[in-house]
Structure 1
Amino acid sequence: MDTLRFDWPAWLPAMNRTTHLHTSPYGALDFLPLETPRASGNAIDPVSLADLLRNGFVYPPHTIYRDVKNVQTGFTLQQGMQDEFRFHFAYQSTSATSRPASGAVSDETLLNTFHQLLTQAVQRSTATMRAPWLLQSGGKDSTSLAIAVADARPDTTCITYLGGKEENEVDSARFVARQLGLRHEGWVCDPGRAYDRYVAVAPRIPLLTADFATLSYVDVATEIGLHHGDGIIDALGADPYFGVPLHLRDRVLYWLARSARLPGAWLRHPLVRRHFKLCFALGTLQMHGFERYFPGSRFSDSEVDELLGANVSGYSRQRMDAYRDDMQAAESAEAVRRIVLVVMEAAGFAKGMYTAPTMGLRLAYPYCDPQLCEWIFNSVPDDLLIGRGGVNKVLVRRYIAQRFEALPYVRAKGSFRFDVQGLAQQRFEQVHAFALQVQTLVPGASKWLEEHRDCLDNKFFASKFYLLAVTLPWLLSRLDNPVNAAADAPPSDADRVDELVSA
């Protein structure tokens, strides 16, 4: 690849030596290297900015800083090489040679072992928590985790966060919690409140992600702190080991992603801009198939180049090369999907890892417990991982069925999403002001906002607004002379959480 050059100001001095972080959910979380003057003085990476706007997260092992790399799951440093990383995900289904045949182990034995290992994983991961809260979406992972939590940590409070109209698993989550004897809280997303909380803590967030649940996480974490909780139990982590089957919709979208370049005016045409599905299809045409697996509507390559004032989107695409060997070796579309799931740790886990510690909260990911992961991958028969007809997590479904009969999660979407249209409606002027203040980094943001202001009732465009809303205040807080719009504001919820934690 040619050396990337930009005629942009050197916003901050670059480090002489790369800083390496290790933030895998399967190990310890350590942001200490970022607290040194050498790390905090690092320059923003324009390619990573393009990653965020194109996909909602920075491609690992890169970070928003040019000289800070994050050695996440699957990555290893080449021996003797300071910045040469190699990616390989060992947990592909074809490498599990020891799995028993279907029916070789009784369901009773498998379910009992699963419960024992999951319960032990909860105990280990929450050992330092005094008052844990479980993020309970009402889906399979959080429901199965709630069953184990009821045995291992019955002092846990369950929280379900209703972020949008399409979510209808709240009744399921509440029913499960109450039947298990766990306290349950249900909160409704107020996009303005959540955004104000995010802006207040952005200067303390060590790295930047724009995952579509980042604002939900900040909102929930703030409430947990205000209610004297000190830890969050999150059900992420099971998918790479159970596998995620591809359905017809996934295959159609993959085929539709053609890396096309379409004029932005097409999407703003009055006959197009009001129709989410049509906009989504046109947006998909402009994506790479691998990146279409990532959720949400994001900026096209042409838009990213205009936002950043340079032809940078191509360099962001080239970061997929790190996964090329594994993708070419993958024996099925489902195997490629497992790679996607590992890449998306950079978004899914980051939203908690980057935000919760700023509010003094510990994190627990029981489904990332090494003993549990190894057992799921090596000791559970194939047909209990992915069943006939593409039914996923058959073992988990049977585990839940021991305690509960039919639950809505088999038909409905989960919770903890975010009301992106509501955010655009309530905080447009504030985000536009941020865009004007951060023009040295994202010179085209204010123009994009002005051109699309009348389109933001469509979730397709509102999702792009969300990416700017999350990215801009974090960047502003890293400028040499940031304008503190909240300087004269009363103490925020984040300040109150700090007081509670220190007390």
Structure 2
Amino acid sequence: MKDSQIDTLSIEATSFTLSSGTCDRSNVQIDTSPYQGEVDFSPLDKLQGEEVLVDPVSLADLLRNSFVYPPHSIYRNVKLAGTGFDPAQDMHIAPQYHYRFQSALAPSRPPPGALDVHKLLETYHCLLCNSIARTTANMRAPWLLQSGGKDSTTLAIALAETRPDTTCFTYLGGSEENEIASARLVAKRLGLRHESLECNPERAYDRYLAVLPRLPLLTADFAALSYADLATEVHARGGDGIIDGLGADQYFGTPLHRMDHLLALLAQGIRLPQELFTSSLVSRNFKLCFVLSTLQMDPFERYFPGSRFSDEEVDALFGCDISARSRQRIESFRSDIGAAQSKEAIRRITCTILESSMLAKGMYMAKAVSLRLAYPYCDEQLRDWVFNHVPDDNLIGPGGVNKVLMRKYIARHFKELPYVVSKGSFRFDLRGLASRRFDQVRAFAERARDVMPGAPAWLDTNRKFLDNKYFASKFYLLAVTLPWLLDRIHGSKIATHVK
């Protein structure tokens, strides 16, 4: 979407207040479980004009955590039945969350050493190949998003047998980490074609704005712009489908490390003056900003990645007390959190919640660019076998080593890969986006004052700090959210009350 297109949009939203009440509009419910195959977003097509209510609490969710808490969506009258929510429930009326794949809920798994490792690996290979064959059956030219890590390397090995026509595609997101060499080595040895793309934040943002009118829903995942860049590139290079390696963490297990425990202890929900972060002592130090921001967070929400807006900042952006309503959405998960028998079990719950963002960005972008999308790890037969029949020591090893079975599978074909031994996180050039597109996003904020009256002031106050990733991350959230609002708000409304 070009600036000229933004200029033609009128903002029909009004300032909103928080009050009780119910929505009398037509309700829509969509099953977004990645285990069902392609998600059907067509029910959204029937919503037109005033039937579309943008939910202010969901907007607060995006700024506080980069995603909308499930089962909610960016629209007030659209609910999503993802992992942990039974789609047979009415998601609009007190839906119940329960995740059945916690280790403590598993039947007695075979004890360590009881099963032959070779047979385990062969079974794993067969199940993974079967899932790949099923999920890519409707793709003519599949492209694997290949980070060079465990999940994508494992998929590449199975793809070499089942879909040797696959192109491996690696994204270089920033200067802090370069996984291309490892990914290229894997593809070459397996006989797969390999391509790469270096992050250009301006190109990625332009591509996001171009596909934005066709996005069915909204997430502000920190890889959303990268995904828009990748999906557009795949389409331009003749691909018709994307294979994504997300989805295995929930049932393989998510061990916590020392830093995870420390951050959880630091998260105390303390409100700190925002002037502290812009002080000369703190404002240029990303690590110090990150630690101080952690003090302000709920311990559960600190498991979510990235630097996000504090509750105080969100209230200032909206000009009303709305952050508490967003935080209250954690209560839907309290029963499972309270029943969790370990910190690792709590972490699994966060993985299912993050699925609403991490997998959704692929679902939304693929839909917008008319690509097929496959999540081979989201296969019921594969998941159930791993959960019930793989010994604990092949899931999580000593010292919190994760996905031991995957590591052994990779070791049959390769020596330890550098990126597998020391894996970082997915990167995007946040500071580059902030420095090169500040004026554009500032203009979006000015035009969206009716929705977020405090956004222009936040941008003006913090402009000089955007070379710090802590502030640049928040800029990113506004850069993703504001133009979507300007596009959608034409012909729709902001909900004027909150449940």
Q: Which amino acid aligns with 2:152?
A: S
Task: Describe the superposition over 1:80-135 as per-residue Cα deviations: whole angstroms up to 9, x where unpaired.
Answer: 88522000000000111141111111000000001111111110000000000000
Q: Could you tell me how far apart the structure 1 residues matched to 2:113 and 2:403 are?
A: 16
**Shift in Å at residue 388 of structure 1?**
1.2
CA distance in 1, matches of 2:116, 2:50: 54
Q: Please give the per-residue CA displacement for 1:213-264, whole angstroms capped at 9, x wherever unaligned.
A: 0000000000000001000000001001110111110000000001111111
Deviation at 1:479, TM superposition (A): 1.8
- The answer to whether the 8 Å contact 1:77/1:86 transfers is no
Q: Does 1:106 align with 2:145?
A: no
Asked if 1:344 corresponds to 2:354, the answer is: yes
What is the alpha-carbon distance in structure 2 between the residues aligned to residue 187 and residue 7 of structure 1?
42
Q: 2:35 aligns with which of 12, 16, 26?
A: 26
Aligned to 1:231: 241
Q: Is 2:401 the partner of 1:388?
A: no
1:51/1:316 contact within 8 Å kept: yes
SS, match of residue 401 in structure 2: coil
Residue in 2 that maps onto 1:435: 445
Alignment match, 1:488: none
**1:188-222 Cα distance to aligned partner (Å, 9 max, x none):** 00000000110111111111100000000000000
Q: Larger deviation: 161-170 or 173-182?
A: 161-170
What is the total number of aligned residue pairs between the two structures? 476
Q: Which residue of 1 aligns with 2:6?
A: none
1:203 to 197, 209, 213: 213
- Calculate percent identity across the aligned residue pairs: 59
* Pair 1:226–1:414, CA change in 2 (3 A): farther
Q: 2:487 aligns with which of 460, 474, 477?
A: 477
DSSP-derived class of the 2:293 partner? helix
1:266 matched to 2:276: yes
1:465 corresponding residue in structure 2: 475
Q: Residue type of the partner of 1:150?
A: A
AA aligned to 1:31 is F
Give the equivalent residue in structure 2 for 1:194: 204
How far apart are 1:165 and its partner, in Å?
1.3
Q: Distance in 2 between matches of 1:81 and 1:464?
A: 30
Show the counterpart of 1:306. 316
Q: Say whether the 8 Å CA contact 1:163–1:415 is kept in structure 2.
A: no
Structure 1: distance between partners of 2:166 and 2:418 = 23
> What is the distance in 1 between the residues matched to 2:468 and 2:87?
43
User: Offset at 1:273?
Assistant: 0.4
The answer on whether the counterparts of 1:15 and 1:38 sit within 8 Å (CA) in structure 2 is no
Distance 1:119 1:200 in 2: 35
Q: Tell me if the contact between 2:26 and 2:51 (Cα under 8 Å) persists in the aligned partners.
A: no
Alpha-carbon distance between aligned partners in 1 of 2:486 and 2:455, rounded to the nearest angstrom: 13
Q: Work out whether residues 216 and 367 of structure 2, in 8 Å CA contact, stay in contact via their aligned partners in 1.
A: no
Of 170, 188, 191, the residue aligned with 1:160 is 170
Aligned to 1:290: 300
Post-superposition shift, 1:15? 5.2
Describe the shift of the 1:83–1:262 C-alpha distance in structure 2 as closer, same or farther (beyond 3 A): same
Amino acid at match of 2:328: Q
Deviations 1:428-462 (Å, cap 9, x if unpaired)?
00000000111111111111000000000000000
Confirm or deny: 8 A CA contact 2:49 2:491 kept in the other structure: no
Q: What amino acid maps onto 2:66 in structure 1? A: G
The amino acid that maps onto 2:338 is: Q
From the superposition, tell whether residues 215 and 95 of structure 1 become closer, same or farther in structure 2 (CA, over 3 Å).
same
8 Å CA contact retained: 1:15, 1:42: no
Q: CA deviation at 1:286?
A: 0.7
1:417: Cα distance to partner? 2.4
Deviations 1:395-422 (A, max 9, x none): 1000000000021123433575211000
- 1:358-393 Cα distance to aligned partner (Å, 9 max, x none): 111010000001111111111100000001111111
Instruction: Report the CA distance shift for 1:354/1:40 in structure 2 as closer, same or farther (over 3 A).
Output: farther
Q: CA deviation at 1:355?
A: 1.1
Alignment of 1:129 with 2:130, yes or no, is no
CA offsets 1:294-328 (integer angstroms, 9 cap, x no match):
00000000000000111000010110000000000
Letter in 2 for 1:445: A
Q: Which of 462, 465, 470 is matched with 1:452 structurally? A: 462
Counterpart position of 1:16: 25
Alignment of 1:478-493 (within 5 A): 478-480=488-490
**Residue 363 of structure 1: aligned partner:** 373
Cα separation, partners in 2 of 1:406 and 1:66, compared to 1, 3 Å = same
Any conservation in 2 of the 1:77–1:84 contact (CA below 8 Å)? no
- Conserved in 2, the CA contact under 8 Å of 1:52 and 1:210? yes
CA contact (8 A) 1:158 1:177 kept: yes
The answer (yes or no) to whether the contact 1:49–1:64 under 8 Å persists in 2 is yes
**Equivalent residue in structure 1 for 2:51, among 18, 41, 49:** 41
TM-align CA RMSD: 1.9
Gaps of 5+ in 2: 1-14, 493-499
- Give the structure 2 partner of residue 490 of structure 1: none
Deviation digits for residues 443-496 of structure 1 (CA, Å, limit 9, x no counterpart)? 1111100000000000000000000000001011012279xxxxxxxxxxxxxx
1:286 alignment partner AA:
Q
How far residue 17 of structure 1 moved from its aligned partner, in angstroms, is: 3.1
In the aligned structure 2, how far is the partner of 1:274 from the partner of 1:126? 46
Q: 2: distance between equivalents of 1:79 and 1:469?
A: 35
Gap regions ≥5 residues in structure 1: 1-5, 483-503
1:200 is paired with a residue whose SS is helix
More RCO (CA 8 Å, sep 6+):
2
Which one-letter code corresponds to 2:368 in the other structure? T
User: How do residues 235-254 of structure 1 correspond to structure 2 at under 5 angstroms?
Assistant: 235-254=245-264
Relative to the length of structure 2, the TM-score reads 0.92
Q: Distance in 2 between matches of 1:176 and 1:236?
A: 18
**What code does the residue aligned with 1:25 have?**
P
Secondary structure of the 1:389 match is helix
User: Aligned residue for 1:315?
Assistant: 325
Q: 1:301 to 1:9 in 2, by over 3 A?
A: closer
Equivalent position SS for 1:355: helix
Instruction: Give the Cα separation in 2 of the matches to 1:464 and 1:32.
Output: 32
128-137 vs 82-91, which moves further: 82-91
AA partner of residue 409 (structure 1): Y
Residues 138 and 415 in structure 1, CA contact (< 8 A), matched pair in contact too: no
Partners of 2:249 and 2:390 lie apart in 1 by 14
In the superposition, relative to structure 1, how do residues 102 and 152 fare at CA in structure 2: closer, same or farther (>3 Å)?
same
CA contact (8 A) 1:254 1:289 kept: yes
